[in-house]
Amino acid sequence: MARVAVTGGTGHVGACLVRQLLADGHEVRALVRGEGTPKQLEGLDVELVRGDICQPSSLAPLVDGVERVYHLAALISIVGPMGGKVRAVNVHGARNVGEAALEAGVAKMVHVSSVHAFELGDGAESPKTIDETSSRSREETCPAYDASKAAGEAEIRKLVQRGLDAVIVHPSGVIGPFDFTPSRMGKVLLSLGNGRMPALLGGGFDWVDVRDVGNGIRAAAEKGRTNESYILSGHFASIPDLAHVATTVTGARVPKVTMPLGLANLFAPAAEATAKVLRMEPLYTAESLMALRSDVRFDRSKACEDLDYSPRALLDTLRDAYAWFAARGLLRKPAASLEPQAVSVV
């Protein structure tokens, strides 16, 4: 078994991946900020290294003596560049980690990008199919987060030309258990499960189980070809369809109203302004609506062929996500089938 390093181990995908790597028998070293043990890593046999991907000098202890680096740390934004923070983390941070891995002689690096690195479009082409050869997001036409993920990928490819053995993976919309924060979609699922969602939005996206993403990341380290990209997608579902599956699992009511995306877009500026005044994240923004109306499908055949990648059914993902939430006391009235239980990490 190998000694490995993980950045972003406190995120949704990272918290799951760390558990999978430990189950595989690897020695795991995780980069964390601040003091103490983050709740996502409590009780795990993980070596913690204090540092920040935006501070290159702090990364040497993370990569020293490890065989593989899994780079997951990123800043997700639906509110623009956030004063340059999005680019600092997703572009410069990725470059810093890659350079540290190259200088340390790390045998393999897996860079976790996103399907948002691809130019998703505006839904005019219905549906649009994207594979690994599709055009990348550009600052001129795409949200700041999307453009930053494309630029971060480009930085890693530059380092490959200098000798870094790196593989890039592109997960779609991640949902599932081990969502400690919880994530933006985790909050949506909890609102549905607790019957607190007043209305649904139209549109949809591709949703993938966090554990399947972890499986794809680990397979990329073992079987992925240098400088190749692999799409780790799941299943397309509209927001109303996702809600119906969620309520099938939890027994909560399905909201009767679905707001068309065009109408939601009209209210987006007001929602963003209100959230800014209240110092909270808006429920949705014009940027997040772009993804829902893109009507895009992702071709995962390359990952299936090269990595033996196979995503599970959406129903199984939601059942385990809600069981995990129920075990943590986050569902007000969990259904009988969601009584606290252990959820498998695989």
- Write the DSSP assignment of 171-194 as a string of letters: E-EEESS---S--HHHHHHHHHHT
* One-letter identity of residue 257: V
Q: Decide if 160 is inside a domain.
A: yes
Q: Is the pLDDT of residue 301 over 70?
A: yes
Residue 207 · residue 242 · CB < 8 Å: yes
Task: Please identify which residue in the block is written with the tokens 């995306």.
Answer: 261
Lowest mean pLDDT segment, chosen from 35-49, 122-136, 244-258, 292-306:
122-136
What residues contact 54, with CB distance under 8 A and at least 6 apart?
A: 88, 89, 92, 93, 96
Lowest mean pLDDT segment, chosen from 29-33, 103-107, 290-294:
290-294
The CATH number assigned to the domain holding 126 equals 3.40.50.720
Whether pTM exceeds 0.85: yes
* One-letter identity of residue 162: R
Task: Please identify which residue in the block is written with the tokens 């579902």.
Answer: 237
Please provide the average confidence, as pLDDT, over all residues in the chain: 93
Considering only residues 305 and 122, tell me which one the structure prediction assigns the higher pLDDT.
305
Q: Give the pLDDT confidence score for residue 287 in this predicted structure.
A: 87
3 state SS of 146: helix
Q: Is the pLDDT of residue 175 over 70?
A: yes
Q: Decide if 194 is inside a domain.
A: no
In the chain, the number of structural domains is 1
Q: Give the pLDDT confidence score for residue 341 in this predicted structure.
A: 66
- Mean pLDDT for 116-144 is 90
The H or E element that residue 70 is part of is: strand 68-71
Q: Decide if 247 is inside a domain.
A: no
Other Cβ atoms within 10 Å of 131 Cβ, number: 14
Task: Judge if the upstream peptide bond of residue 56 is cis by omega within 30 degrees of 0.
Answer: no
Q: Decide if 267 is inside a domain.
A: no
CA distance 217 to 223: 10
Q: Decide if 88 is inside a domain.
A: yes
Q: Is the pLDDT of residue 277 over 80?
A: no
Q: Which domain holds residue 91?
A: 3-176+207-234+295-312
Q: Is the pLDDT of residue 150 over 80?
A: yes
- SS3 letters for 246-305? HHHHHCCCCCCCEECHHHHHHHHHHHHHHHHHCCCCCCCCHHHHHHHCCCEEECCHHHHH
Q: Give the pLDDT confidence score for residue 17 in this predicted structure.
A: 98
Q: Is the pLDDT of residue 278 over 70?
A: no
Terminal-to-terminal C-alpha distance of the chain: 18
Q: Is the pLDDT of residue 176 over 90?
A: yes
Q: Give the pLDDT confidence score for residue 261 in this predicted structure.
A: 82
Q: Decide if 53 is inside a domain.
A: yes
Task: Please identify which residue in the block is written with the tokens 């453009």.
Answer: 147
CA distance 305 to 302: 5
Q: Is the pLDDT of residue 264 over 90?
A: no
**Beta strands 128-130 and 296-298: pairing type?**
parallel
* One-letter identity of residue 164: L
- Mean pLDDT for 44-72 is 98
pLDDT tens string 11-30? 999 999 999 999 999 999 99
DSSP structural state of residue 92: I
Q: Decide if 17 is inside a domain.
A: yes
3 state SS of 113: coil
DSSP structural state of residue 123: S
Q: Decide if 325 is inside a domain.
A: no
What residues contact 336, with CB distance under 8 A and at least 6 apart?
A: none
